[in-house]
Amino acid sequence: MHLISAKSLVKKFHQKNVINGIDFEIEQGEILALIGPNGVGKSTTIAMLLGILKPDQGSIIYWRPDYRDYVGAQLQSTPFFEGYTAEENLKLFAALYHTKLTKDQIRVELDNCHLSEAAKTPAVKLSLGQQKRLAIGVTNVHHPELVVLDEPSAGLDPRARHEIRAMIQTMAKNRQTVLFSSHDMDEVEQIADRLIFMNDGRIVDAGKPEELMEKYEVSNLEALYLKLTPSQFRGEY
Amino acid sequence: MNTNFLNTTFMNTVFSLSLKAAAREPFLLFWSITMPIGGTIGLGLLINQPGYSVQITTGMMAMGILFYAFTTTVFSVLAQRKRGVYKLLRVTPMPLWQYILSVSSAWILISLLCGMLVLSVGAIVFGFSLSPLAVVMIGIVCILGACGYVFFSFFISGLCKSESQASITTNLITLPLLLCSSAFYALDGAPRWIQILSYFNPFQWFISGLRSGCSIDASGWLASVGVLLVILIVSLFLAVKSLGFNKI
């Protein structure tokens, strides 16, 4: 079943097309990775899917009319509420999704993010890794069917990246669908079921990692990334 | 997911958490509580003239509410905008207006409490008494004024890209409002042009409303309430505009 079906999406900023007519679907239960260099339109695509930006052309069909109740999203920034503790942010985000958490549920959610000891710490004072974990925690506080994560592990050290990957894998085990964008090919290789490569506002190719590697005759995803996202420098591919 | 709750339950959660977070704000303690109370007592004792104690108490009340409901909230709203909170709210099922209403209510309640605290200290220190009707009239003016300032803060925060811009902008707005008003001194001896300007000063209408409430001057109070209502509607319109699609 398609959770989201995007048809011929176009988005312009200042008369310039940043998304040039892209089509794709998100299948229920998959972990889908949106891959491409900075500025190719990954975040814009995500913003359109989430209803933050309106596409200038094209349409997005959702699997249910009240889809907002069943989507959790983490944008590139970690949008915590200033002056609120980690625990309060969880409560507040739950309220935004019409969910009321009991004390026990808050404890479980904090445990899931490995943040039990930081429950009373203001969210903005947490380390970057802790903030990212909390950001994913608040995304998942209402146990949505679709989780959208925009570069969830950007700027993190290896251990923090590992923890984020584990959280995404847990979501997949719980039959949640995950769409995430990333530059980290190790991460993509470990967790993604399907990939969408973007370049210059277009989808260059999409498919399962092994199928794409076979098609482009490369042995790993980093080589595939280099092949599908040409360098701006001459002499490199 | 529990969908049986009325939206008000969740608005209450947002309200109570906002109240808790706002109460921890150090700027609140200084600019809206310590400074107005210190100013009321200090100036009231220094300028020991009949009637000045009520003048300075209401002036300081108005200043404290302005600093909290406008200046502090400009920075809070700007911080939330910059962190993408309003963008993220578009993803959630809670309508943006419900969130804005909940947090604004919390900020307005805090403004009211700060104002009433300054009024109580002034009344105790200088020994003036107010009837329950006067307190109600003052409370209504406080709420209307704070509403207008909070909504205006959403608009101003939308114009600012950084904290330094917000600092300059809020100072450029609040200083003329304070200086062209009778918050700390009577305008009777001021140049004519300042007296004319004060008729167009929303802060002066706020102070006049508080003072009319103290003296239970119904006509003066009604005039101030009318002007404050107009300011509130204009501020609400500007706030809604500033939170439009692609502007958050």
- Please give the ipTM for the structure prediction: 0.79
Is B94–A96 a contact, with Cβ atoms under 8 angstroms apart?
yes
Number of domains present in the structure of chain B: 1
A149-189 tens-digit pLDDT? 999 988 888 888 898 999 999 999 999 999 999 988 988 99
With contacts defined as CB-CB under 8 Å, which chain A residues touch B1? 69, 97-99, 142-143
Which pLDDT does position B11 carry in this prediction?
82
| Percentage of chain A lying above the pLDDT 90 cut | 69
Mean pLDDT computed over A92-118: 91
Residue B117, class by beta-carbon neighbours within 10 Å (0-12 exposed, 13-18 middle, 19+ buried)? middle
- For A140, nearest residue in chain B (alpha carbons): B1
The tally of CA atoms less than 13 A away on the side-chain side of residue B142 is: 32
Does position B2 have pLDDT exceeding 50, yes or no? no
Mean pLDDT computed over B227-245: 88
Which pLDDT does position B157 carry in this prediction?
94
B interface mutation test: which of A43, A53, A70, A97 has the most B CBs within 10 A? Answer: A97
Which pLDDT does position B3 carry in this prediction?
45
Mean pLDDT computed over A113-139: 91
Residue written as tokens 């929303």?
Answer: B202
Q: Is A99 on the interface with B (CB under 8 A)?
A: yes
Is B90–A51 a contact, with Cβ atoms under 8 angstroms apart?
yes
User: Distance between CA atoms of B41 and B22, rounded to whole angstroms?
Assistant: 25
Does position B4 have pLDDT exceeding 50, yes or no? no
To 10 degrees, what angle do helices A128-139 and A158-173 make? Answer: 10
Q: Is A128 on the interface with B (CB under 8 A)?
A: no
pTM of the predicted structure, to 2 decimals:
0.81
Does position B246 have pLDDT exceeding 60, yes or no? no
Q: Is A11 on the interface with B (CB under 8 A)?
A: no
Count how many pairs of residues, chain A against chain B, have C-beta atoms within 8 Å: 96
Does position A231 have pLDDT exceeding 70, yes or no? no
Residue-range definition of the domain harbouring residue B55: 3-247
- For A50, nearest residue in chain B (alpha carbons): B91
Mean pLDDT computed over A25-54: 94
pLDDT band at A232 (very low <50, low <70, confident <90, very high): low
Does position A236 have pLDDT exceeding 70, yes or no? no
Is B2–A81 a contact, with Cβ atoms under 8 angstroms apart?
no
Q: Is B241 on the interface with A (CB under 8 A)?
A: no
Structural element, H or E, at residue A199: strand A194-199
Is B21–A71 a contact, with Cβ atoms under 8 angstroms apart?
no
pLDDT band at B200 (very low <50, low <70, confident <90, very high): very high
- Pairing outcome for strands A16-27 and A57-62: unpaired
Contact B181, B205 (CB under 8 A): no
For A75, the closest of B13, B25, B87 (CB atoms) is: B87
User: Distance between CA atoms of A175 and B171, rounded to whole angstroms?
Assistant: 53
- Pairing outcome for strands A31-35 and A177-182: parallel
- For A76, nearest residue in chain B (alpha carbons): B84
For A177-194, letters b (16+ CB in 10 Å) and e give bbbbbbbbbebbbebbeb
- Pairing outcome for strands A177-182 and A146-150: parallel
Average pLDDT, whole number, for chain B?
90
Which pLDDT does position B101 carry in this prediction?
87
Query: Shortest CA distance to A88 belongs to which of A69, A98, A103?
Result: A103
Residue written as tokens 């445990």?
Answer: A111
pLDDT band at B5 (very low <50, low <70, confident <90, very high): very low
Mean pLDDT computed over A51-78: 91
pLDDT band at B88 (very low <50, low <70, confident <90, very high): confident
Which pLDDT does position B159 carry in this prediction?
93
With contacts defined as CB-CB under 8 Å, which chain B residues touch A46? none
Does position A234 have pLDDT exceeding 70, yes or no? no
Radius of gyration of chain B (CA): 19
B119-158 tens-digit pLDDT? 999 999 999 999 999 999 999 999 999 999 999 999 999 9
With contacts defined as CB-CB under 8 Å, which chain B residues touch A95? 10, 13-14, 17, 94
Q: Which residue has the higher pLDDT, A50 or B31?
A: A50
